């Protein structure tokens, strides 16, 4: 087989799948390259909870044989992610592996079945490589994982290991979950693409909940195209998740209207660092020069109010979820989560109900604002990755869109003054995930992309 | 409303003053109180014919 030009551990899932489909790349060689990469860098990065080498190798060998059979029969591999390894955040079930959730009592309890999203990805030919590190129960207490760009800075959370594994070249993509900002923020801090679909678009069966009305399954990847492949494989109704929806439920078609109309959310710039403001303003200028129509948006619902509603909702739902488990394992909770749950138990019922009424109002207002644009453009985060001791970062620019269930994507950019990646966020219309992905792909082609973290390649 | 005092009083009754004084709890109380006050002050407005405002 001829050697691909890009190092195997830097291929996107789409690139690797295309090479596998024409037998220019063996799934076994791809997996071997990723395992060598993990062996070299994992001791310093600690992105993984468990790596399922034996089952992944068996799946890669089976994929290789299946590709050979398909080509001999004059066809192509039967699925779009055939032979592509991926990581799974350790709050999502993989049959036979524990779903640890960063919680000691769960570490020895293997899941009986794959989560819905994992099963669908396997059905598309992808191979589970292992479980990636998470903050405890997808909250804020960080795992030991390190940021590959600067070890003194946070890798973000809660999909910490998934973001680091993709940035470090361990896997082309990995699953994450987002309840406040847990896919997009670690994506931004580690220089990879993060995508959270519309609420319900990817079912949550087999995902340990953080907050039932806010949880989303998303993806950390190296390209927008890989996010599209993830969505195509993982989306769809799931009888195990009553909130899951059919892809046909949402509108489609912003892709037909490229170059896009973008709404630059100036309120989000006001609270961001100077470096982030400059980066997003520069990105807006570049996109406008390439043909996009960029209009300043100043009249959206208050981001601060949206964050407050999201927090009241999440804290009430988490306090309820953990009431029984805390009685069973009172000493296994980490300090920030324990405090959050203790305070959450004191929030009055009227506050939760009032928050849901406000949430409905904001959803209507945001929907009207998005009718005028294909996507909103804003920073993913108010700053670059903070020092490790400062926690996993600020969710104020991701949480409002999680609250409203809107599709959102973080596009990474080359590092700024502190040697840390920058990013912009694009937020789409509810249900128009394909439209958002089309806009994001258009923007990705016209904006500078980050290389790999220094010292790793 | 004094959301901080209400939340803290409830927490002291439930878990005692020592727990309420721990730094992580104190930080969580202040954050939750700020969010609660902001939510309490906001007007949900009419919602598709279900305007329950007094």
Mind listing the pLDDT tens digit for each residue in A119-172? Answer: 999 999 999 999 999 999 999 999 999 999 999 999 999 999 999 999 999 999
Catalytic residues of A: 89, 158, 182
CB contact under 8 A, B44 and A357: yes
Identify which of A308, A339, A348 has the shortest CB distance to residue B25. Answer: A339
CB contact under 8 A, B44 and A336: no
Top-level class of domain A8-446 = alpha beta
The model's confidence at residue A456, banded by pLDDT at 50, 70 and 90, is confident
> Chain B partners of A315 at a C-beta cutoff of 8 Å?
32, 35
Mean of pLDDT values over A67-76: 88
Give the separation between CA A43 and CA A89, rounded to whole angstroms: 18
pLDDT for A250 beyond 70: no
Q: How many residues does chain B have?
A: 54
Domain ranges of chain A: 8-446
Name residues 15-54 of chain B within 8 A of A (Cβ): 15, 19, 22, 24-25, 27-29, 31-32, 34-36, 38-40, 42, 44-45, 47
Pick from A97, A233, A399: which is nearest to B31 by CA?
A399
Region of A191 (left: φ > 0; alpha: ψ -120 to 50; beta: rest) is left
Alpha carbon of A44: minimum distance to chain B alpha carbons (Å):
29
pLDDT for A346 beyond 50: yes
Report the pLDDT value the prediction gives residue B50, as an integer from 0 to 100.
52
Beta bridge partners of A422: A413
Integer angstrom CA distances of residue A369 from A364, A376, A383? 9, 9, 25
| Helical (H) or strand (E) element with A220 | strand A216-221
Report the pLDDT value the prediction gives residue A256, as an integer from 0 to 100.
52
**Greater model confidence, A319 or A298:** A319
Give the separation between CA B45 and CA A357, rounded to whole angstroms: 8
The model's confidence at residue A229, banded by pLDDT at 50, 70 and 90, is very high
CB contact under 8 A, B39 and A338: no
Q: How many CA atoms lie within 13 A of A38 on its CB side?
A: 27
Q: Is B1 on the interface with A (CB under 8 A)?
A: no
Mean of pLDDT values over A301-327: 96
Q: Tell me what ipTM this predicted complex has.
A: 0.92
Give the separation between CA A22 and CA A32, rounded to whole angstroms: 19
Q: Could you report how far apart the first and last alpha carbons of chain B are, in Å?
A: 19
Pick from A162, A185, A217, A214: which is nearest to A45 by CA?
A162
The model's confidence at residue A347, banded by pLDDT at 50, 70 and 90, is very high
**Greater model confidence, A90 or A254:** A90
Mean of pLDDT values over A73-101: 94
Positions of E strands within A8-74: 48-51
Alpha carbon of B32: minimum distance to chain A alpha carbons (Å):
7
Report the pLDDT value the prediction gives residue A368, as an integer from 0 to 100.
87
Mean of pLDDT values over A437-444: 98
Report the pLDDT value the prediction gives residue A299, as an integer from 0 to 100.
64
Is the pTM higher than 0.90? Answer: yes
> Chain B partners of A338 at a C-beta cutoff of 8 Å?
24
Report the pLDDT value the prediction gives residue A85, as an integer from 0 to 100.
98
Residue of chain B nearest A308, judged by CA positions: B35
Report the pLDDT value the prediction gives residue A6, as an integer from 0 to 100.
78
The model's confidence at residue A87, banded by pLDDT at 50, 70 and 90, is very high
């Amino acid at each position: 087989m001829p050697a691909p030009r890009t190092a195997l551990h830097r291929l996107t899932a789409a690139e690797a799948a295309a090479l596998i489909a024409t037998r220019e790349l063996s799934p076994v060689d791809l997996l071997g390259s990723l395992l060598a990469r993990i062996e070299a860098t994992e001791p310093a990065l600690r992105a993984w909870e468990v790596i399922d080498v034996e089952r992944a190798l068996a799946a890669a060998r089976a994929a290789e044989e299946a590709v050979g059979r398909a080509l001999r029969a004059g066809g192509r591999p039967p699925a779009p992610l055939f032979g592509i390894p991926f990581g799974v955040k350790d709050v999502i079930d993989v049959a036979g592996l524990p779903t640890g959730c960063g919680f000691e009592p769960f570490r020895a309890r293997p899941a009986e079945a794959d989560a819905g999203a994992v099963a669908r990805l396997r059905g598309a030919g992808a191979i589970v490589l292992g479980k990636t590190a998470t903050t405890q129960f997808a909250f804020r207490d960080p795992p030991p994982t390190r940021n590959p760009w600067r070890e003194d800075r946070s890798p973000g959370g809660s999909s910490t290991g998934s973001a680091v594994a993709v940035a470090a070249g361990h896997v082309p993509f990995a699953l994450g979950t987002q309840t406040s900002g847990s896919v997009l923020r670690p994506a931004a801090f580690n220089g990879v693409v993060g995508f959270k679909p519309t609420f319900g678009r990817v079912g949550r069966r087999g995902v340990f909940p953080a907050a039932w009305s806010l949880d989303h399954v998303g993806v950390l990847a190296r390209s927008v195209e890989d996010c599209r492949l993830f969505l195509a494989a993982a989306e769809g109704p799931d009888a195990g998740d009553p909130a899951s929806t059919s892809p046909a439920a949402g509108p489609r078609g912003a892709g037909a209207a490229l170059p896009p109309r973008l709404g630059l959310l100036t309120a989000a710039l006001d609270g961001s660092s100077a470096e982030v403001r400059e980066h997003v303003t520069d990105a807006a200028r570049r996109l406008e020069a390439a043909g996009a129509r960029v209009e300043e948006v100043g009249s959206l619902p208050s981001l601060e109010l949206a964050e407050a509603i999201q927090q009241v909702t999440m804290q009430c739902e988490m306090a309820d979820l953990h009431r029984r488990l805390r009685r069973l394992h009172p000493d296994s909770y980490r300090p920030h989560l324990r405090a959050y749950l203790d305070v959450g138990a004191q929030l009055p019922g009227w506050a939760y109900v009032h928050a849901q009424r406000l949430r409905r109002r904001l959803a209507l207002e945001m929907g009207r604002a998005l009718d005028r644009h294909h996507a909103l453009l804003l920073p993913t985060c108010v700053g670059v990755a903070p020092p490790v001791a400062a926690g996993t970062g600020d969710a104020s620019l991701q949480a409002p869109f999680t609250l409203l269930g809107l599709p959102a994507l973080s596009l990474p950019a080359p590092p700024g003054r502190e040697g840390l990646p920058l990013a912009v966020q694009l937020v789409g219309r509810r249900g128009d995930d394909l439209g958002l992905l089309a806009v994001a792909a258009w923007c990705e082609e016209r904006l500078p992309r980050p290389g790999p973290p220094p010292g790793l390649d | 409303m004094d959301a901080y005092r209400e939340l803290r009083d409830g927490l002291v009754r439930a878990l005692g003053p020592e727990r309420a004084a721990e730094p992580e709890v104190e930080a969580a109380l202040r954050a939750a109180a700020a969010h609660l006050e902001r939510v309490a002050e906001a007007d949900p407005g009419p919602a598709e014919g279900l305007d329950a405002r007094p």
